Amino acid sequence: MQVAIIGAGSFGTVLADIAAHNQCQVMMYARRPEMVHAINAFHRNPQYHPDLQLHASITASSDLAEVVRGADLVLLSVPSRAMDAICQALAKVLAPDVALLSTTKGIQSEGFQLMSQIIGQRLPSHPVGVLSGPNLAHEIATRHLTASVVASQSPQVRQLARNAFATKYFRLYSSEDLISVELGGALKNIYAIAAGLADGLGVGQNTKALLITRALAEMSRLSAHMGGNPLSFLGLAGVGDLYVTSVSPLSRNFRIGQALAQGHSLESAESNLGQVAEGVNTLRVVYEQCQRDDIAMPILTALYEVIFGGKPVRQTALQMMQAAHTSDVEFLMPGANPAL
């Protein structure tokens, strides 16, 4: 099986190594010549995983056509802002019907599009799926037990993903609910910033539990509005991904929130991080969409007002606590009695 990895970032690199150990022929696409050289000559990614010795069979190239030639599965692991451009480039060089799998967690502002929707528009003849879950790349690289979700309407995509990436320490579950799985991956980045902010302010465990639980309610509310199944948020791509991103110092978005709590500006926090934190851009995009569609998202709104409106954190948090929503669980299984 031949796998093309588009993007030599943190997660793409780890998945490339897994696929190679699963006997796949793996080629990575990287734009920078020095990254291509490091992977080919030293089997290292010095920027994202300097201590990880990559499988010796992995090769890299900055020639997109070379990377995808003959591929059975193309993994897209690029920043959300680059997805449209990379799909346009792929449309010129990709063979028909090749399966596509995205790990990118974000939403495009124009048209409020998920990554799978962008891929589907630019590459309409290709089956598409997403891989999402509580997947801190550093822990996967060191082979901590981890699980993720492959969501696709295509059985072919789900099977190819399992063939390439499933291992004894990286388990893959399946879903057909692309909207909820992908939204979970995008939205949790927003709430991870809020969680980091709360942690930096020294709030108690009760407050952190409140934050994570109500964040999950907001995520499922937006998913239902977009046609997804809110119950999907009970799985790995929902509560699992939200939890790990909201408590771990390895989470980029969590660290952005901590830095903001310590008095850093957004620009300073992002600069010090040195990696892309998708949550900042996603926050702006989702806030604007929820304002247009009149969707109640108190935590998201409060975070937006703090980051982009300059409002004081504690005062804004108190106002959020007085929001009108009083129902604990909004979505119940069919036939359930809400009074029980």
Q: Who has greater pLDDT, 61 or 106?
A: 61
- Distance from the first to the final alpha carbon of the chain: 51
SS (H, E, C) 114-129: EHHHHHHHHCCCCCEE
Helix boundaries (H) for the chain: 10-21, 33-37, 64-68, 83-91, 115-122, 137-141, 155-165, 178-200, 205-225, 241-247, 252-261, 266-273, 278-293, 298-307, 313-321
Quick one: average pLDDT of 130-154?
A: 96
Q: Where are the domains of the chain?
A: 2-176, 179-321
SS (H, E, C) 232-248: HHHCHHHHHHHHHHHHC
Decide which of 3.40.50.2300, 1.10.1040.10, 3.40.50.720, 3.40.50.1470 is the CATH code for 179-321: 1.10.1040.10
pLDDT value of position 333? 47
pLDDT band at residue 239 using 50, 70 and 90 as cut-offs: very high
Please give the model's pTM, rounded to 2 decimal places: 0.89
pLDDT tens-digit series, residues 268-312: 888 888 776 778 889 999 999 999 999 999 999 999 999 999 888
pLDDT tens-digit series, residues 223-237: 999 999 999 999 999
pLDDT band at residue 338 using 50, 70 and 90 as cut-offs: very low
Q: Would residue 188 show up in a list of annotated catalytic residues for this protein?
A: yes
pLDDT above 50: residue 112? yes
Of the residues 92, 188, 208, 311, only one is catalytic, namely 188
Q: Which residues of 95-117 are buried (b: 16+ CB within 10 A; e: fewer)?
A: eeebbbbbbbbbbbbeebbbbbb
Element (H, E) at 231: none
CATH class of the domain at 2-176: alpha beta
pLDDT value of position 278? 79
Quick one: average pLDDT of 139-154?
A: 97
Q: Do domains 2-176 and 179-321 have the same CATH topology?
A: no
Q: Residue 288: CB partners within 8 Å, gap ≥ 6?
A: 109
pLDDT band at residue 254 using 50, 70 and 90 as cut-offs: very high
Query: Which residue has tokens 């879903």?
Result: 175
